[in-house]
Amino acid sequence: MTDELQQQLINDLLIESLEGLDRFDKELLALENHSGGAETMNIIFRVIHTIKGTAGCIGLCKIESTAHVGENLLSLLRDGKLQSSSEMISALLALSDALRGMLRDLEASGTEGQRDHSVLLQRLRDLQTATRSPAAPAPAPDAPAAFGLFEDTPAAAPAEHRAEPGKPAAAEPAQAAKASIADSAIRVDVVQLDKLMNLVGELVLARNQIMQNTTQLDAAALLIASQRLNLITTELQGSVMKTRMQPIGNIWTKFPRVVRDLSQELGKKINLVMEGQDTELDRTIIEAIKDPLMHIVRNAADHGLEMPAVRAAAGKPEEGRLTLRAFHEGGQVNIEFIDDGQGINAARVKAKAVERGLVTADQASRLSERETHNLIFLPGFSTVEKVTTISGRGVGMDVVKTNIEKIGGSVDVQSSAGLGTTIKIRIPLTLAIIPALIVTSGGERFAIPQVSLLELVRLESEDAHKKIESIYNAPVYRLRGQLLPLVDLSRDLGLDSRKSASADGAVNIVVVQADGRQFGLIVDAINDTEEIVVKPLGKQLKSITCFAGATIMGDGRVALILDVLGVAQHAGVISEVRDHGIAGDGKAAEKADNRQTLLLFQASLESCMAIPLSMVARLEEFPVSSVERAGSQEVVQYRGQIMPLIRIANFVSGAAAADTAEKDPLQVVVYSEGGRSVGLVVAKISDIVYEALTVQRSAARDGILGSAVIQERVTDLLDVPSIIRSADPTFYKAGIN
Amino acid sequence: MSETKQFCTFYLGDLIFGIEVLEIQEVIRYQEMTAVPLAPKMVHGLINLRGQIVTAVDLRSRLEMPPLPEGQLPMNVVVRTEDGAVSLLVDEIGDVIEIDGDDFESPPETLHGVARDLVDGVYKLKERLLLLLNTPKTVNYATHPGADSGGRRQAA
């Protein structure tokens, strides 16, 4: 057998076995909870059996013999000769850790490692003959193996772990090697591959057609071919993206095990509930959030949930509940961790932050409840007096926050004392292709990622001079009463300002947000939004923090992608020190709770309405002539789909019927969900505001959630789902299928 | 008898340089470029090489030579480096020539300035001297941070 072949066999064994062991853990826990089906025992048995067989085949005796002992015990269990007990499950889990350890050593060093598992093996053998002798207490779990915590999760430590070559196989190298083989390979559905192959075939055909036509110059045929090319490319892009998508459940499989180990170690009772395991995410993102999520779970189990006695005294069920929920919303993935524990103790958090010198006592006293909760994300913060092995080493939540923000996500925490804590994470679906706004400045095009974009403001020439004021040469603009610092992009980047002056003297301001601060970028022109493919910049340009990368535009030229945070720092809008949120003045802090961005519009001429901007996919205008009918439903063709139109005025009872003299073009708010879109026809789009929302009067009218005062006007909050449901009952069902 | 190597040659002003062909990915005509604001002077811009974004390094600027006269367009010599492809902008492309290793000599002591860092040695051709360029050092800006300073550029 050649070395190469041997290595290949080992690689296959590693991938297969590590996957198998994850399944093994999961099924064992199901067995313990009696939630598994008839197959559970067979799956458990098969995993160990396969590992034994494969390892034996390629001469890995230690793995083989270890697995063999486990198999003996399992065969007794399977045949019903033994009843499973908690002790047995613990021992089998320890076996899974031991095997995993050997596999990782094998991966790192090519040998099965030096670990001694004789205690564990003896324990497994004892269990085979065990007839519940009460004299023998549960053997002390051999510490390193029984709690696989530190091998499984390099607790998101800021210092990067590198495998030190000199060190023998121990926990350390196991951490570093972790990201290698099982994580670099990916399993793709054969159906998916077939589809890709088909699409590529189509692409080749379309290319051939175009090649022929360029010689003959047949305009009509060329048009057909290019349309076809367009379709195929879009579909191909979608398909390829899909191969990279993985259900988030893949990283959640480890959590039940972790929670079980934790609850045993801490003496707590924890019920872990997971919802939305099928929510799909790009593989690279899955990798990036793995450790932060694990950290949050551990944190919730350690600090969030109380001891059973404490819970009982507080009138709560002894068993704490930790719910993980993932779902798609507005083109992003939301992950929530909800526990019903003690909540965050605001007074203690403040005291600790002051003690650690993170805020001054004066600042602390002015913080809102929500801001106080967010203090836990500051570097160097930890409230636990007792540092446990599980969490509280001061490298906690700030690392979680940094890692999530690094991939363009955000973390938020809400908590009410005594009732529990909810941590919400929002992350983009993928990092490879992002929506972006294309702007021009100094004759060059730049892309601004949509995630950092808030709104666009255009000042006509006569307004521009009056409305842009300056404080010691620092231009500012009053955006709804708040001062917005302005940055002239061409000046900041040192571009040719001669090319800058826009023809009509109007000023375009792109309002962006970086690190919680808003500022306006003055650009020469705003072109369009586009989906762009992010490409990295060369090493020579890495030091320029203003750019996040580059992309190739439709005409084949390169455009730079702005890193809004970098631009802000370069222009001095944000100082390097992250002092926001603490220095925020009291007035803003008061308002900070339940603020959200709302789209204001008028359904008919008098009424003022609002919906959360997060529900809006796009704002579009359609000429009245483009409206067609499908049955009784008004529809338009939109991005290759048929989009139903709903006239809000007709659906909201109480609103005056739509004006007979119809506006042309129609103002349409596009709402998308599950790949389907629906257009809400409104009379006029008024504004976008970021305001605290207090529903003052809950209305009994259909399609209205309630009313609130926004910008000194009584505004109805539209209940979009209910309106869509009443207009098109199949919308949500079809979206799910 | 030492082995012979093949070199791709190109011109910068009246100098002739060589890079071993194995390091070269391709040679292409001048392309439209996107300038990078705030970038070091030696970075002329970014080009789209069949979907890959490649940094174009102005070799004249890198070697502290005066810029190419107006109206003359440089050529792209795309070299493979550890961090992907990088394009070197040169005046003109020469032939690929085969040279005997015996003709190699270290750069003369009198060579100084940035050329001293970037030129690995000299091949004695029949009629002239071929300067052997060290591509990793050339494309790596960090090794020579002074290259960007305006004063030195004017002095050159």
* Partner residue facing A540 (CB), from B33, B38, B55: B55
Q: Are B86 and A540 inside 8 Å of each other by CB?
A: yes
CATH number at residue A279: 3.30.565.10
Of A339, A338, A337, A342, nearest in space to A315 by CA: A342
| Alpha carbon distance A324, A341 (integer Å) | 14
Let me know if residue A605 belongs to a domain.
yes
| In chain A, residues 475-504 whose CB comes closer than 8 Å to chain B | 493-495
* Domain identity same for A578 and A613: no
φ, ψ at A599 (rounded to 5°): -100, 125
Residues of chain A with Cβ-Cβ distance to B40 below 8 Å are 540
Let me know if residue A241 belongs to a domain.
yes
CATH number at residue A53: 1.20.120.160
pLDDT at position B142: 53
pLDDT at position A559: 92
pLDDT confidence band for B74 (50 / 70 / 90): very high
Let me know if residue A164 belongs to a domain.
no
* Domain identity same for A392 and A502: no
Cis check: omega of the bond before A665, within 30 degrees of 0 = yes
Residues of chain A with Cβ-Cβ distance to B35 below 8 Å are 444
* Partner residue facing A559 (CB), from B32, B34, B83: B34
* Domain identity same for A443 and A569: yes
pLDDT at position A97: 87
Domain range list for chain B: 4-140
Among the three residues A428, A446, A468, which one is the final residue of a domain in this structure?
A: A428
Enter the CATH code of domain B4-140.
2.40.50.180
* Partner residue facing A541 (CB), from B32, B33, B39: B39
pLDDT at position A95: 87
* Domain identity same for A657 and A602: yes
Residues of chain A with Cβ-Cβ distance to B148 below 8 Å are none
* Domain identity same for A277 and A376: yes
* Domain identity same for A242 and A252: no
Q: Which two tokens stand for residue A300?
A: 């919730």
Residues of chain B with Cβ-Cβ distance to A494 below 8 Å are 37-38
pLDDT lower than 70: segments of chain A:
1-2, 36-37, 130-185, 330-331, 380-396, 430, 432, 497-504, 515-516, 574-595, 605-606, 652-662, 674, 696-702, 732-737
* pLDDT value at B127 more than 60: yes
Among the three residues A428, A444, A471, which one is the final residue of a domain in this structure?
A: A428
C-alpha distance from A522 to closest chain B C-alpha (Å): 16
Residues of chain A with Cβ-Cβ distance to B46 below 8 Å are 537, 550, 558, 560
| Alpha carbon distance A237, A195 (integer Å) | 12
pLDDT confidence band for B11 (50 / 70 / 90): very high
Residues of chain B with Cβ-Cβ distance to A558 below 8 Å are 33-34, 45-48, 53
| Alpha carbon distance A63, A124 (integer Å) | 15
Of A539, A545, A547, A550, nearest in space to B137 by CA: A539
pLDDT confidence band for B88 (50 / 70 / 90): very high
Let me know if residue A538 belongs to a domain.
yes
Q: Which residue has the tokens 């094998």?
A: A106
Query: Is the CB of residue A555 less than 8 Å away from at least one CB of chain B?
Result: no
Q: How many domains does chain A have?
A: 5
Let me know if residue A218 belongs to a domain.
yes
- Identify each DSSP E strand in A320-471 by its residue range: 320-329, 332-339, 410-416, 420-428, 433-441, 444-449, 453-459, 468-471
Residues of chain B with Cβ-Cβ distance to A491 below 8 Å are none
Work out the end-to-end distance of chain A between its first and last CA atoms, rounded to an integer number of angstroms: 50
Minimum Cα–Cα distance from B144: chain A residue = A540
Residues of chain A with Cβ-Cβ distance to B37 below 8 Å are 442, 444, 493-495, 546, 560
* Partner residue facing A541 (CB), from B33, B43, B47: B43
In Å, what is the CA distance from A471 to each residue of A477, A484, A569, B74? 11, 12, 19, 46
Query: Is the CB of residue A542 less than 8 Å away from at least one CB of chain B?
Result: no
Q: Are A444 and B40 inside 8 Å of each other by CB?
A: no
Let me know if residue A135 belongs to a domain.
no
- In angstroms, what is the C-alpha Rg of chain B? 15
- The residue type of A311 is R
Residue from A539, A544, A551 to probe the interface with B (highest B Cβ count within 10 Å):
A539
Among the three residues A207, A226, A246, which one is the final residue of a domain in this structure?
A: A246
ipTM: 0.80
Neighbours of A726 (CB within 10 A): 13
pLDDT confidence band for B95 (50 / 70 / 90): very high
* pLDDT value at B12 more than 80: yes
| Strand (E) or helix (H) holding A480 | none
Residue from A233, A533, A553, A558 to probe the interface with B (highest B Cβ count within 10 Å):
A558
Chain B positions contacting chain A at CB under 8 Å are 32-40, 42-43, 45-48, 51-55, 57, 83-84, 86, 139-141
* Partner residue facing A538 (CB), from B37, B51, B84: B84
Residues of chain A with Cβ-Cβ distance to B42 below 8 Å are 540
Query: Is the CB of residue A532 less than 8 Å away from at least one CB of chain B?
Result: no
* Domain identity same for A266 and A406: yes
Residues of the domain holding A78: 3-130+141-154+172-184
Q: What is the pLDDT of residues A100-117, one digit of tens each?
A: 888 888 888 877 777 778
Query: Is the CB of residue A605 less than 8 Å away from at least one CB of chain B?
Result: no
Let me know if residue A553 belongs to a domain.
yes
Neighbours of A56 (CB within 10 A): 15
| In chain A, residues 411-470 whose CB comes closer than 8 Å to chain B | 442, 444
| Alpha carbon distance A241, A233 (integer Å) | 12
pTM for this predicted structure: 0.52
What is the DSSP-derived secondary structure letter of residue A375? G
* Partner residue facing B39 (CB), from A495, A544, A556: A544
Of A242, A219, A181, A260, nearest in space to A19 by CA: A181
Q: Which residues pair with B78 in a beta bridge?
A: B26, B87
Residues of chain B with Cβ-Cβ distance to A540 below 8 Å are 39-40, 42-43, 55, 57, 86, 139-141
CATH number at residue A522: 2.40.50.180
Let me know if residue A167 belongs to a domain.
no
Q: Are B46 and A550 inside 8 Å of each other by CB?
A: yes
What is the DSSP-derived secondary structure letter of residue A546? T
pLDDT at position A394: 41
* Domain identity same for A36 and A106: yes
Q: Which residue has the tokens 């796009």?
A: A618
pLDDT at position A32: 81
* Domain identity same for A446 and A472: yes
* Partner residue facing B83 (CB), from A538, A552, A557: A538
| Alpha carbon distance A354, A365 (integer Å) | 10
